[in-house]
Structure 1
């Protein structure tokens, strides 16, 4: 069997996704032929794509790389031309990126985006719209997008990213009009090699981070470079074996919530202040002299609207961080079941094998399964907007009782 050639150019940024790279690179080549007026085979290139995969698989990375290849002057995603550089840097005039800062994407935002996408490209080959977390589209936003996907402009491409192609994530009507690209969880050796080659991380640290990140490239990089992230993970993984007294329920719940709040605060603090300062400057709110009163009032009103969006973004960041901690917890109980069943499957947390083995010896499999179900129920409850603290305290109670 002939081995596929190694990715080159922009495609090297997509880790462990050889089948997706092959499909997308072929489509980019077909798109270049369309631009040049050359014939292409039916279905080689389409106007709407849905990129799905588990967290960390690189859905948004794949979308940006594909967009770069579509705008590439060579049609290959060379990584060296201005088209590739500007798309990857997020400054290309014909590539619009939608990253929901709150818990959803509104219909007003989508209508404005669809209207802008209908224009002809100004400097690139295509007008490209990338929608990260397309599962956050409201019903109205989905309907607005559907009209554009059903009757797309000639040179417009929509790239949607979502955790899965399940109807609950992306509506069936939109999904049926998109070409599906399913990404897989990258293997630890591929992740480790990227950390070593691209980030200059020590091989031993890179291999450890790759083995415990759950296939999430971004998290592997953070664990390898951020001591605070390593400490937060260690705190979470002490919970299963640290619930000895009734009071531990509230202590552990508080640790989970506090860690998520701290993480969200660190991520948002400097960014929020920079945004407020830039907005005041742009609107003349920091000016002095005669006639600036009106500008100051308008600037303060705009800042209040910005702070409202920032608060929504912080809430989303906190929930995403908490969800990551819950995924780590679920992985621990999954590892206990793997160990007790002697299945030989690879552990999610190999660096905690001793604690996992002790828990497997002490807990009955049914008790472990109840604990795992409690973690998954907590994730679902938070997704349904149950107060995080209430959901976490209920979960930790079950974790202690078994």
Structure 2
């Protein structure tokens, strides 16, 4: 099994990382392609984390008797003794977690040549938290490699950017993502192509749309709800509908996992399903519930943002139709509706709506109430779009 299998459309980035891993295996201090800190950037769904783990496996497999496949399995399972991983399902990282990872980065490798530390979503570090990491990047141990993942270099503070080597991923082609869904998940070609197009090449979302009918239905309802807005009162009702859809999407992603986590925790504590939790063990359950609440909050925000992205794709299609610009439409399944709205509205109105959606995303990111932000956004749809 290749470490880099399934990393669709990232040949240039893979070549850079393969060369670095190969040069590190030579043990030569004269080879300049390897460095102690890396930043992997790319748009959502481009595979930042996947390529980070593949690179980690390549580095950890440069010495020792383990096969490349064995090391990769350990890395993916996060059980390799020389691998440290920090990820969060909350809105931001806790500074104490970053401090723990930094402290562990000073341990010597136990079985390999390197100790590899991965931070997923490094853009979720506040400035104070980033400064904790900065000290480790300024004076790194000789055999520790840091791999950070973020959407762009601008998402990290300048002092960290100046101490990492950046590798940029590109948005995979729709055809490449569709082919991946067919080969990896056994999805029919027509469904795979539609999912890849509507997900705008986001591999994870394309997989979900291709394999989950509820996800496809929620997306269709999102677009239909926006197209049916005719007045300000419609906009207020539509905002409530879209918020309900995002809550349903978030619940679908977290509910089953939460139940399994609770069951597993109770089992590990020796409590039978449905049994009474002893007072001395309730703090563990409370901590688990707090973690799940933080994850649910992030999942809801991610679900709302997915709705915004889908709406942007809708009005992008309407604008392209209005101005006759070249380019394939994303939402071909509702082409008649797109043509109808494009005919009765103007490009200026469509651009105003798109600006309103972008503004709503910024407001929600700044902790404005999602309900208020969505209402303001959809009122602009009613006013600017005049029925769009």
Same fold (TM over 0.5): yes
Following the alignment from structure 1 to structure 2, what is the Cα–Cα distance between the partners of residues 364 and 283? Answer: 63
The change in CA–CA distance for 1:94 and 1:333 in structure 2 (over 3 A counts) is same
Shift of 1:286: 5.7
Following the alignment from structure 1 to structure 2, what is the Cα–Cα distance between the partners of residues 46 and 72? Answer: 17
In the alignment, is residue 52 of structure 1 matched against residue 38 of structure 2? no
Alignment partner, residue 58 of structure 2 = 69
Query: Residue 86 of structure 1 is aligned with which of 74, 84, 107?
Result: 74
Shift of 1:13: 2.0
Alignment partner, residue 324 of structure 2 = 342
Alignment partner, residue 121 of structure 2 = 133
Alignment partner, residue 14 of structure 1 = 7
Correspondences of 1:2-401 after superposition (within 5 Å) = 9-34=2-27, 38-42=28-32, 44-73=33-62, 80-166=68-154, 169-284=155-270, 296-401=278-383
Following the alignment from structure 1 to structure 2, what is the Cα–Cα distance between the partners of residues 298 and 40? Answer: 57
SS at match of 2:354: helix
| Greater CA drift, 334-343 or 365-374 | 334-343
Unaligned runs of 5+ in 1: 1-7, 288-292
Give a deviation string over 1:313-368, Cα, whole Å, max 9, x none. Answer: 10000100110110010111112111111111222323332222222111111111
Following the alignment from structure 1 to structure 2, what is the Cα–Cα distance between the partners of residues 151 and 80? Answer: 30
**RMSD value over aligned CA atoms?**
2.1
The change in CA–CA distance for 1:136 and 1:29 in structure 2 (over 3 A counts) is same
Following the alignment from structure 1 to structure 2, what is the Cα–Cα distance between the partners of residues 185 and 352? Answer: 24
Shift of 1:62: 1.2
TM-score relative to the length of structure 1:
0.90
| Greater CA drift, 78-87 or 190-199 | 78-87
Shift of 1:207: 1.5
TM-score relative to the length of structure 2:
0.93
Count of residue pairs the alignment pairs up: 381
The answer to whether the 8 Å contact 2:3/2:69 transfers is no
The answer to whether the 8 Å contact 2:2/2:69 transfers is no
The change in CA–CA distance for 1:39 and 1:47 in structure 2 (over 3 A counts) is closer
Shift of 1:372: 0.4
| Greater CA drift, 222-231 or 250-259 | 250-259
The answer to whether the 8 Å contact 1:79/1:85 transfers is no
Give a deviation string over 1:197-232, Cα, whole Å, max 9, x none. Answer: 111111121122122211101111111110001001
The answer to whether the 8 Å contact 1:286/1:296 transfers is no
Give a deviation string over 1:111-167, Cα, whole Å, max 9, x none. Answer: 01111111012233321111111111022210110000111111111111111111x
| Greater CA drift, 267-276 or 217-226 | 267-276
Shift of 1:73: 4.8
The change in CA–CA distance for 1:209 and 1:373 in structure 2 (over 3 A counts) is same
The change in CA–CA distance for 1:251 and 1:88 in structure 2 (over 3 A counts) is same
SS at match of 1:97: strand
Alignment partner, residue 4 of structure 1 = none
SS at match of 1:159: strand
The answer to whether the 8 Å contact 2:315/2:354 transfers is yes
Following the alignment from structure 2 to structure 1, what is the Cα–Cα distance between the partners of residues 328 and 190? Answer: 19
